[in-house]
Structure 1
Amino acid sequence: MRQRRGGAQGESVNRAHGESGLTKAVNSVFSFVRLAEFEILFVLFFIVAFLIFKDLTSRPEYNDLFVKKPDKDGLWPFL
């Protein structure tokens, strides 16, 4: 008959009974973060990209890059 070694999984089950509520809550939050790591990073990437884009487009110089101001004296003011 094989003897079972004390692995991390068995120890965490036995250890969970003696832990406080705060420790259980923190452990559950960490396990959720490990589970949803890609989704959290994906959302954070878009939030950071939005904030950078918003900051860049809110500057007055941004319009000078893409919009050519018409010259009122020219024959074709928008060319």
Structure 2
Amino acid sequence: MRQQRGGVGAGRREDDPVLLTRAVNRAFRFVRLAEFEIFFVLFFLIAFFLFKDLMSQPQYNQLFVKKPDLDNPWP
């Protein structure tokens, strides 16, 4: 007959995963379920920050601030 030992996890069954394992498995299951939405949001966040950094440079900012020359007849 098998001897029961005391200690951490003594009352737990052999095939019952621990709490950390179950939490990690649920997190991976959620990522697999919401993969498209996560990539969609990440794409727009990256595009926003790249565009914001690009437009914050002074040479690009002058395009929006500078007024056109009114004396020049050509557009």
Do both proteins adopt the same fold according to a TM-score greater than 0.5, normalized to the shorter chain? yes
Structure 1 portions without partners, runs of 5+: 1-16
Structure 1 runs (4+) deviating above 3 angstroms are: 64-71
Provide, for residues 20-71 of structure 1, a one-character-per-residue CA deviation record: whole Å limited to 9, x for no partner: 0000000000000000000000000000000000000000010345665656
Task: Count matched residues.
Answer: 60
Counterpart of 1:58 in structure 2 is 56
Counterpart of 2:71 in structure 1 is 76
Q: Which of the two has greater helix per residue? A: 1
Counterpart of 1:42 in structure 2 is 40
Q: RCO (CA 8 Å, sep 6+): is it higher in 1 or 2?
A: 1
Counterpart of 2:11 in structure 1 is none
Query: Could you state the TM-score of these two structures normalised by the residue count of structure 2?
Result: 0.66
Structure 2 portions without partners, runs of 5+: 1-14
CA-based RMSD of the aligned residues comes to 2.5
